[in-house]
C-alpha cells in the first residue's frame, strides 16, 4: 500500500493485517453453502413479516438504545436490561468491547486457531493480539492464564471454538477466572451457544464473577447473518461501556425488529437447532467410520484436521462437487452442517479420500 502520489497515508498497520477471509458466497442453487456456519433454513415467516413491515419505516432512524430488543434479550437470558448491550453482529460487539477497554499497546489474549476476526479486531483497536496455541483442538487455558501480563486487559474465549467445534466446561473457565486478576475482562464468545448441549453455563459464570462478559449473536442459530445483530451480557458498567462505543444507529430498525420476532419464535429456532444437532451427530459418526479423527462438535459445523497437502487435494474435490467448505492453511477444513442432502454431498467428497487414509 505504498502511495504513488503524495497524500494521506493509511496507518501502516492496515497493510500488515491479514484480510478477513470470508467463506465464499454461494452463486447458484446447485452450490452447497457449507463455508460460513450460516443457518440453511429460510427466515421464519414472522421474521420476514417484521422486516416487510419495517420497510415502510426506513426513512426514520432506529432506536439508538435498542431498548425493546435489549429488554427482550434480558428476559430471554434472565438478566437486567442494563446488563445488555447490542451491536451490529457479535463482531461489532467485540469491536465495541475492545474500543471500550483497550489503551494502545494493551494486550488481548485469545486462542489460536480460533475465530479469524480476533487478531484483526484487536490490532485495529490499537491493542496487541496474543494468540495462544490450542492444545489439540481445545483452548489451553493454563497457557492462556500464564500469558497474562500487567498489560493484559482482556482474555477472549470462544466456546464452542470456531473452527474446531470443541466446547469449554464451566469448571475449567471457573478455574481460569480464579487465576486471572479481576481487572482483566474475560469475554466469552458464545456465537454457537444455541447448538451447544454440553452443559456449559456462561450465565452462571457471569453471576459469580464481575469480570465476565458474554458475547452472542443472531447470525447463527437465529438465522439473521445478513441483518447484523449481536449482543453482550455483562455487569451494568461493562454493558454501558459497550453501548457507548457503538457507532450510533449501527443496529438498524429492520435488524432490531427481526431479532425481536426471532426471540418471540424461540421454540421454532430450537426445533431447527435439534435438526442440525441430529445431522451433526450423523455426520460425525460417518466421518469416524471413514477414518477421520473428528472431535465432538457442539456447534453447527464439523472439523477435519489435516495436512496442507491433503487439505489442498480435498478443497479441489469439494470445488468440483460445488460444495463450499472452509479451508485453513496449516490446520484443516471446517464444514457447516446444513440439510441432509447437502451434508451427504460433503460426505460423498470425503468418502473415497477417507477410505485411502
211/217 with CB nearer ligand PLP: 217
Q: What is the DSSP string of 333-353?
A: EEEE---HHHHHHHHHHHHHH
Alpha-carbon gap, residue 17 to 244, rounded angstroms: 26
Candidate list 164, 219, 257, 336; residue touching ligand PLP; CB under 6 A: 219
Q: Which residue has the cell 451494568?
A: 236
Q: Which residues, 70 to 109, sit near ligand PLP by CB under 6 A?
A: 89-91
Burial bucket for residue 261 (CB in 10 Å: 0-12, 13-18, 19+): buried
Give the interface segment with ligand PLP, choosing from 8-16, 196-204, 217-225, 332-340 (CB under 6 A).
Answer: 217-225
Give the interface segment with ligand PLP, choosing from 131-139, 215-223, 240-248, 260-268 (CB under 6 A).
Answer: 215-223
CB of 89 to ligand PLP, least distance (A): 3
Could you give the string, one character per residue 226-265, with x where binding to ligand PLP holds by CB under 6 A and - elsewhere?
Answer: ----x-----------------------------------
Does residue 115 belong to the site contacting ligand PLP (CB under 6 A)?
yes
Give the interface segment with ligand PLP, choosing from 138-146, 218-226, 240-248, 265-273 (CB under 6 A).
Answer: 218-226
73/158 with CB nearer ligand PLP: 158
CB of 56 to ligand PLP, least distance (A): 26
Closest CA to 306 of 110, 131, 137, 140: 137
Q: Which residues, 172 to 201, sit near ligand PLP by CB under 6 A?
A: 189, 191
Alpha-carbon gap, residue 48 to 152, rounded angstroms: 43
Alpha-carbon gap, residue 11 to 2, rounded angstroms: 11
Burial readout 277-316 (b: 16 or more C-beta within 10 A, e: otherwise): bebbeebbebbeebebebbebbbbbbbbbbeeebbeebbe
Alpha-carbon gap, residue 242 to 100, rounded angstroms: 6
Could you give the string, one character per residue 262-301, with x where binding to ligand PLP holds by CB under 6 A and - elsewhere?
Answer: ----------------------------------------
**Beta pairing, strands 212-217 & 230-234:** antiparallel
Residues contributing to the site for ligand PLP (CB under 6 A): 37, 89-91, 115, 158, 162, 189, 191, 217, 219-220, 225, 230
Amino acid at each position: 500500500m505504498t502511495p504513488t502520489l503524495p497524500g494521506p497515508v493509511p496507518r501502516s498497520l492496515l497493510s500488515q493485517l491479514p484480510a478477513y477471509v470470508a467463506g465464499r458466497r454461494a452463486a447458484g442453487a446447485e452450490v452447497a453453502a457449507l463455508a460460513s456456519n450460516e443457518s440453511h433454513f429460510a427466515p421464519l415467516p414472522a421474521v420476514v413479516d417484521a422486516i416487510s413491515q419495517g420497510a415502510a419505516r426506513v426513512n426514520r432512524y432506529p432506536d439508538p438504545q435498542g431498548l425493546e430488543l435489549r429488554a427482550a434479550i434480558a428476559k430471554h437470558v434472565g438478566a437486567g436490561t442494563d446488563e445488555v448491550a447490542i451491536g451490529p453482529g457479535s463482531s461489532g460487539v467485540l469491536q465495541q468491547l475492545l474500543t471500550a477497554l483497550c489503551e494502545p499497546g494493551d494486550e488481548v489474549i485469545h486462542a489460536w486457531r480460533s475465530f479469524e476476526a480476533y487478531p484483526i479486531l484487536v490490532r485495529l483497536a490499537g491493542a496487541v493480539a496474543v494468540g495462544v496455541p490450542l492444545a489439540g483442538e481445545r483452548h489451553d487455558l493454563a497457557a492462556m492464564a500464564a500469558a497474562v501480563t500487567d498489560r493484559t486487559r482482556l482474555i477472549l474465549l470462544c466456546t464452542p471454538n470456531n473452527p474446531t467445534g470443541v466446547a469449554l466446561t464451566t469448571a475449567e473457565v471457573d478455574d481460569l477466572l480464579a487465576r486471572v486478576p479481576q481487572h482483566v475482562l474475560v469475554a466469552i464468545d458464545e456465537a454457537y451457544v444455541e447448538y451447544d448441549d454440553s452443559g456449559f453455563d456462561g450465565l452462571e459464570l457471569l453471576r459469580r464473577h464481575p469480570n465476565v462478559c458474554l458475547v452472542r449473536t443472531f447470525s447463527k442459530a437465529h438465522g439473521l447473518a445478513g441483518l447484523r445483530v449481536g449482543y453482550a451480557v455483562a455487569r451494568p458498567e461493562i454493558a454501558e461501556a459497550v453501548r457507548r462505543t457503538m457507532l450510533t444507529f449501527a443496529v438498524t430498525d429492520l435488524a432490531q425488529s427481526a431479532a425481536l420476532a426471532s426471540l418471540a419464535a424461540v421454540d421454532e429456532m430450537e426445533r431447527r437447532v435439534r435438526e442440525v444437532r441430529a445431522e451433526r451427530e450423523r455426520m460425525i459418526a460417518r466421518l469416524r467410520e471413514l477414518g477421520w479423527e473428528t472431535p465432538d462438535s457442539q456447534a453447527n459445523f464439523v472439523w477435519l484436521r489435516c495436512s496442507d497437502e491433503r487439505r489442498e487435494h480435498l478443497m479441489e474435490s469439494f470445488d468440483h462437487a460445488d460444495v463450499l467448505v472452509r479451508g485453513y492453511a496449516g490446520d484443516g477444513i471446517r464444514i457447516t452442517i446444513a440439510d441432509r442432502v447437502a451434508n451427504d454431498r460433503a460426505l460423498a467428497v470425503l468418502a473415497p479420500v477417507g477410505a485411502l487414509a
